[in-house]
Amino acid sequence: MNKPSALLTVSDSVVDAVLGDEAILLNVASGMYFGLDPVGTRIWELLVEGAGKQEILGRVLDEYDVEPERARTDVEAFIQALASKGLTQEVNR
């Protein structure tokens, strides 16, 4: 997320299914699907709930045994990957 006032949301063209601790995402616009591991699935669930980047980072730090800098880097990279695949979008508040 580049803009501090922007909210990250799930793209309208995405359909998801959570199966246990993993998720499958389908971008119906591109026809591509993606599988998420348990941590990716947790981040996805938080995005679907409307959590912002800082809230997601805080929850990852609370829920997983990870160094803060590693969590920050990994969460940012994951969020950027979702956006680059058309799975999320930024909307201005």
**What is the full DSSP assignment across the chain?**
---TTEEEEE-TTEEEEEETTEEEEEETTTTEEEEE-HHHHHHHHHHHTT--HHHHHHHHHHHS---HHHHHHHHHHHHHHHHHTTSEEEEE-
Q: What is the mean pLDDT of residues 64-78?
A: 96
pLDDT (0 to 100) of residue 90: 81
Q: Which fold has domain 8-85?
A: Outer Surface Protein A; domain 3 (3.90.930)
**Any idea where the domains of the chain sit in the sequence?**
8-85
pLDDT (0 to 100) of residue 8: 85
The pTM (predicted TM-score) of the whole model is 0.87
User: pLDDT tens for residues 4-62?
Assistant: 546 789 999 999 999 999 999 999 999 999 999 999 999 999 999 999 999 999 999 99
